[in-house]
Chains A and B, each alone.
Chain A
Amino acid sequence: MTDLPTAPATPAEAAVPRRRPGVRVRVSGTDRVLLFLMVAIPLVMVVLWVWLPAIASVALSFARWTGVGGLDTIEWIGTENYKNVFTNYPPFAPALRHNVIWLVFLFVLPTLFGILLAVLLDRELRGTRFYQTAMFLPVVLSLALIGFIWQLMYSRDQGLLNAVLGTQIDWYGDSNVNLWAVLVAASWKHAGYIMLLYLAGLKGVDPTLREAAAVDGASQVRTFFSVVLPVMRPINIIVIVVTVIESLRAFDIVWVINKGTNGLELISTLVTSNVVGEASRIGFGSALATIMLVISLVFITIFLSTVMREGRR
């Protein structure tokens, strides 16, 4: 999208509603001001609320500060916080591991399952509306609420799972199983979301491609992998990135269960528990936050460049 015409479009070109009309002429003075404001105000807001704090987080990660007292009580200590995070903080390694597990699990199970469902539902089934609604229902629920709903399944004494299986497993409390239990609940939501994205993408696939493949004698499966999947490339990338971002941002469900302790540590909960409440390890928490930020930005950049590039086509 960088090769945008800045020259004014001729009336002839105006007939085609392509991208850049590129009108720069005849913008009156007041209009100019208005246009400027229309962009500037939201921009300022986003910069102030998101980008400046992001930069401040990075800056603070090089400091030691309790948050009590003014900015003059900040003590700059270089990379010591990072050193401590990596070598001197037992919950960090599990948290990192759990985030990776979260990502892999989300990708392997709900994402692939969602894609499968989308492919299946794309087959002109009767009652497809019902199936879509059912699978999509969890997507509108908040993760915190999902944590509570699944508590009814997972509770040691009152949960359905133990009642049916006859076991006494403390699904949310036993650190050997609780991450998996939570992941099942999160996948319940994630699968529907991916299904939706993929279904929408599939609907946009040119049917002639499929017909051509069918004429050539390709089976359904073969058609999918050789014809449909490559065409869905932008959607595939979106799905991957969405999965990564969601796994990095996992927080709500774990926080309502046990505030991210005892097997449910995630980097997001570590940041929060180091800062909220009475703890106040601001510099240390910021170092954790910066690590999160860096990882996220890598994926966000991939996402943006893909999306922008697709837009140019």
Chain B
Amino acid sequence: MSRPRSESEYLARLIPPSVAAAGLSRRGFLKGTLGAGAAVSLSSLLAACGGGDDDGGGGGGSASQEVTFGSNQSDAVPKKAYADMVAASGLTVKTNVVEHEVFQENINNYLQGNPDDVFTWFAGYRMQFFAAQGLAGDISDVWGGISGMSEALKKASTGEDGKQYFVPLTTYPWGIFYRKSVWEEKGYQPPKTLDELVTLAKQMQKDGLIPIAFADKDGWPAMGTFDQLNLRINGYQFHVDLMAGKEAWDSPQVKKVFDTWRGLLPYDQEDALGREWQEAAQSLLKKESGMYLLGMFVGQQFPKGKEQEDLDFFAFPEIDPAIGTGAIEAPIDGFMMRAEPKNEAGAKELLKYLGTAKAEDIAAKADPTSIGASSEADAASYTGLQKKAVEFIGSAESIAQFLDRDTRPDFASTVMLPGLQTFIKNPNDVDGLTKSLESQKKSIFTS
């Protein structure tokens, strides 16, 4: 189960995807647009015309023609937000909403079948992977017309060939979250270095708190910890190279990461492999744990109002002064264009609009645990947490996406996921683990 990208997505997960998607299937949406009287066959036919009309009709098209838009925002609130956002673009857009998890899992099928002109996706290697396969369209010219995106964002939107394939919309940072009220009461201060973190953890233990909440039943949350440690110990470039398979997993640098992590494990919540992140977040909410390294979506577990406002975060502390804390993890949600869209001009217009602050504002308002990617986004209406996130991301030197977005998905899910779970169970055999990771990596990264 991947982490939800918005509060509404989290809430929607309490409601099964089928409920959320009820009436939001392609057929249902078309019925709505055509009017209630449309027969099923008619709308299917139109669906065929609109989406199933076989091989990519090539470029052309104009901004006044319809643009198709594939969206994974399947729960009520962001769906409406995206609909509003798209409506405000002034273009004729036909949205095809697919349930979030399903969309992700089927991206391979989707892109090779008959994708919409524009579709939601995430930045990082996964975007580059499809671009390199020729499944995404080059939108470097769209970037010429977008302002307010930092260099880091542009870097994250660029493919391996130097062209841009992605337009960011929202993002959220990973950090160490805590409850302000609890820390004030106990007199804690955000630690600046690893040693201070350990001291703080020890203090928390004495005060009867679980220092660091931790959950890894789904396997991916632990990747966040690995990434943060690697960024701090070995720097951004090494991390990126490691993700790309260019560095060795059994190198002394990686071993150092695991050894450092082992030092922190005693302060982690126990039985992490049987716990899901929502439970760990609840322990933070219930004041049972002192802090939690997670993405900002942790706020979705906090009731709106006083509790959510009590949430704050700080950057993972510095480990190597030469590297500092300039590298952060902030996964970016956004849009791509399919290769050979039916309406290229229209698609690019839509993308240009989606890259504006105006679009981002609508999205970020609906989900206060993420922020607009552009620096021109209207931060005035943001919550305290969002404002802090803006500053945090805006001042970052480099932005990583997250392990399972930055590296090959087969490597992430079949090697890293079990590998990290093994480490948590048995943190002492770092040599054996890293050797195995490296040899598996070699067998996967050969192509």
A and B touch in the complex (CB under 8 A): yes
Q: Which residue of A lies closest to B443 (CB)?
A: A84
When chains A and B are docked, how far (Å) is the Cα of A274 from the Cα of B105?
13
Please choose the segment from B32-40, B45-53, B205-213, B419-427 that sits at the chain A interface, where 4 or more of its residues have CB less than 8 A away. Answer: B419-427
Please choose the segment from A37-45, A54-62, A166-174, A235-243 that sits at the chain B interface, where 4 or more of its residues have CB less than 8 A away. Answer: A166-174
| CB < 8 Å neighbour of B217 from A173, A273, A279 | A173
The reply to whether A67 and B425 form a contact with Cβ atoms under 8 Å apart is no
Please choose the segment from B224-232, B344-352, B408-416 that sits at the chain A interface, where 4 or more of its residues have CB less than 8 A away. Answer: B408-416
Give, as a whole number of angstroms, the nearest-CB distance from B278 to chain A: 13
| CB < 8 Å neighbour of B108 from A68, A91, A174, A261 | A68
Chain B residues within 8 Å of chain A by Cβ, number = 30
Please choose the segment from B58-66, B90-98, B267-275, B392-400 that sits at the chain A interface, where 4 or more of its residues have CB less than 8 A away. Answer: B267-275
Known: A89-B440, A91-B418, A175-B425. A170 touches B108 (CB 8 A): no
A31 contacts the other chain (Cβ, under 8 Å)? no
A249 contacts the other chain (Cβ, under 8 Å)? no
The reply to whether A261 and B105 form a contact with Cβ atoms under 8 Å apart is no
The reply to whether A281 and B422 form a contact with Cβ atoms under 8 Å apart is no
B152 contacts the other chain (Cβ, under 8 Å)? no
Q: What number of A-B contacts does a CB cutoff of 8 Å give?
A: 77
When chains A and B are docked, how far (Å) is the Cα of A172 from the Cα of B419?
19
Give, as a whole number of angstroms, the nearest-CB distance from A242 to chain B: 31
| Contact indicator per residue, chain B 211-224, by CB within 8 Å of chain A (1) or not (0) | 00000010100000
Give, as a whole number of angstroms, the nearest-CB distance from B403 to chain A: 13
A–B pairs, 29, beta carbons within 8 Å:
A64-B446, A64-B447, A67-B108, A68-B133, A75-B447, A84-B440, A88-B436, A90-B436, A170-B274, A173-B217, A173-B271, A173-B274, A174-B273, A175-B273, A258-B217, A262-B273, A274-B410, A274-B414, A276-B105, A277-B413, A278-B104, A278-B105, A278-B107, A278-B108, A278-B409, A279-B409, A279-B414, A280-B409, A281-B414
Name 20 extra pairs, CB < 8 A, besides A68-B133, A174-B273: A64-B446, A75-B447, A88-B439, A90-B419, A91-B418, A172-B274, A173-B275, A174-B274, A261-B418, A262-B421, A262-B425, A274-B410, A276-B105, A277-B413, A278-B104, A278-B108, A278-B409, A279-B413, A280-B409, A281-B444
Which A residues lie at the B interface, using CB under 8 A?
A: 64, 66-69, 75, 80, 84, 88-91, 156, 170, 172-175, 258, 261-262, 273-274, 276-281, 284
Q: Which 4 A-B pairs have the closest CB atoms?
A: A173-B274, A170-B274, A278-B409, A277-B105
